[in-house]
Amino acid sequence: MRIPFDSLDKKPKVWNLAILAAVYAAAEACLLGFGGEGGKVPAELLTILFCAAAVALLLRAFLRQLRYNPYSYNTIYYSGFALFALSVCLTHIYTLAERLSGMGERDLLWSLLHASRNYLLLSSPFLTLFSAALFISNVSLIRHEGKRPVNALGMLLALLLLGGEAVLFFVRPDGSFLSELLLSLFAAGYLYFECMLLGTIAAFAIVVHYEPEKDKDVLIVLGCGIRRDGTPTPILRGRLDRALRFAREQEAAGGKAPVFVVSGGQGPDEVISEAACMRRYLLEQGVPEERIIAEDRSADTAQNMAFSKEKLAEAGLGGKLAYATTNYHVFRAGLKARRVKMRAVGMGAATKWYFWPNAAVREFVGLLTEHRLKQALVILGLAVVHVALCILLF
């Protein structure tokens, strides 16, 4: 099923999930506080129904977010936490079956407190394989590109993931409030990191494989480093060729010939600006000069988008926009475009198999350093829930 990006004008909200959570908490308090032994089965059943509803609401919000703005932190949150809600639902189906069959009788609050650790049990095979793949790709990257700290980011992430798994698998609290609280807070932090990681993988996969509609007026090509002789590097050439292929396919399908905006300034070690390099490459490929606009001031992705928007305004151009960049960069580039209120869809150019995992890790780290307030609120919410459950249980 093809999901049409930018086909909704109204941002999806999840206030209904917050209201549902409040109703669920109140109902659980009543069942556990006044229901006695007879309230435990209904409480488990209510938890299963709440989690199933949460999964449905988050997936619906995720799909609507893709149609409104796929390049958003909400895309990551909705998909990542939908997976967590699904794991909680499955866990409580299992515990309810145990209770009804007489095989066991786990306390509901303990099950909720350990939901983060249970999620790790379900996701650990994927995380282990993912970490191994990251490590292998980094070994190949270092062999091909040299020993530089930035080329070991994937290894570092793999070690962090495996280290977190080891802590949650093998460290057991000693029965005291403090030990349970500390391990629960660590699990909450790991849960957030894991949900962000899985949500980012889902968001990246969707936007990278999305093919924009062949109706674009403008194609923005984002710059990156150039060679010493002023010619494009393989990565930059890949971005240019991706935009050229799209333009030719659009024209072959009877669409208009788009204008190219080549965006990139001149670094201290570059003989010309990236924009000038890209402009020359497009001219060599037969693109008419009047269809090329050069933006040669930008030094990063945010400036690429902001200054390209200014260039388009100066030229009196607008309409439907798309941008070309490397596959690992599509999501964050779209995030920067939306920050300057430019509605553009991305297309990704392929790169070497050993290069893109480490580059994707850099993009993920970049995402973690942005929207600090929103992330702090989510982490604080998870911490408060875990602290409250510890207090109730002790």
- Distance in Å from the first CA to the final CA of the chain: 49
What are the domain boundaries of the chain?
Answer: 15-209+371-393, 218-319
The answer to whether residues 240 and 223 touch, using CB atoms and an 8 Å cutoff, is no
**Structural Rg of the chain based on CA atoms:** 25
The more confident residue out of 184 and 151 is 184
Which of residues 37 and 156 earns the better pLDDT score?
156
> Percent of the chain having pLDDT more than 70?
98
pLDDT, averaged across the chain: 91
> Predicted confidence band at 373 (pLDDT cuts at 50, 70, 90)?
confident
pLDDT digits (tens, 9 = 90+) for 309-346: 999 999 999 899 999 999 999 999 999 999 999 999 99
Percent of the chain with pLDDT over 90: 68
pLDDT at 1: 56
Token pair in block for residue 100: 């009804």
Q: Does position 61 have pLDDT exceeding 70, yes or no?
A: yes
**Stronger pLDDT, 30 or 106, i.e. the higher one:** 30
Q: What contacts 328, CB < 8 A, 6 or more positions away?
A: 204, 208, 348, 351, 356, 359, 360, 362, 363
Residues recorded for the chain: 394
- The stretches of the chain forming alpha helices (DSSP H) are 15-34, 40-68, 73-101, 108-113, 115-145, 153-170, 177-208, 234-252, 274-284, 301-315, 330-339, 356-368, 372-393
pLDDT score at 97: 82
For residue 197, give both structure tokens.
């990681």
Q: How many whole angstroms from its chain centre is CA 93?
A: 29
> If pLDDT is split at 50, 70 and 90, which confidence band does 106 have?
low
Model confidence band, residue 9 (pLDDT cutoffs 50, 70, 90) = confident
Q: What is the pLDDT of residue 103?
A: 47
pLDDT at 269: 85
pLDDT interval class at 102 (50, 70, 90): low
* Nearest-angstrom CA–CA distance, 137 and 154: 8
Q: Helices 73-101 and 40-68 sit at what angle, rounded to 10 degrees? A: 160
Least confident of 7-21, 174-188, 357-371: 357-371
pLDDT for 392: 86
pLDDT confidence band for 173 (50 / 70 / 90)? confident
- Could you tell me which of 327, 77, 343 has the C-alpha nearest to residue 196? 77
Torsion sign (Cα): 95, 387, 192, 75 = positive
Q: Exposed (0-12), middle (13-18) or buried (19+): which is 38, by Cβ within 10 Å?
A: exposed
| Encoded amino acid at 49, one letter | L
Whole-angstrom distance, CA of residue 351 vs CA of residue 328: 9
CATH code reported for the domain at 218-319: 3.40.50.620
**What per-residue confidence (pLDDT) applies to 316?**
93
Question: Which H or E run includes 221?
Answer: strand 218-222
The 10 Å CB-count burial string (b at 16+, else e) for 137-157 is bbeebbeeeeeeeebbbbbeb
| Residue-level pLDDT at 129 | 92
Residue 279 confidence (pLDDT): 97
Query: Mean pLDDT throughout 252-261?
Result: 95
Is-contact 210 95, C-beta < 8 A? no
Mean pLDDT of the 56-83 span: 95
More confident residue, 166 or 362: 166
Per-residue confidence (pLDDT) for residue 271, from 0 to 100: 93
Structure tokens at 118: 């249970």
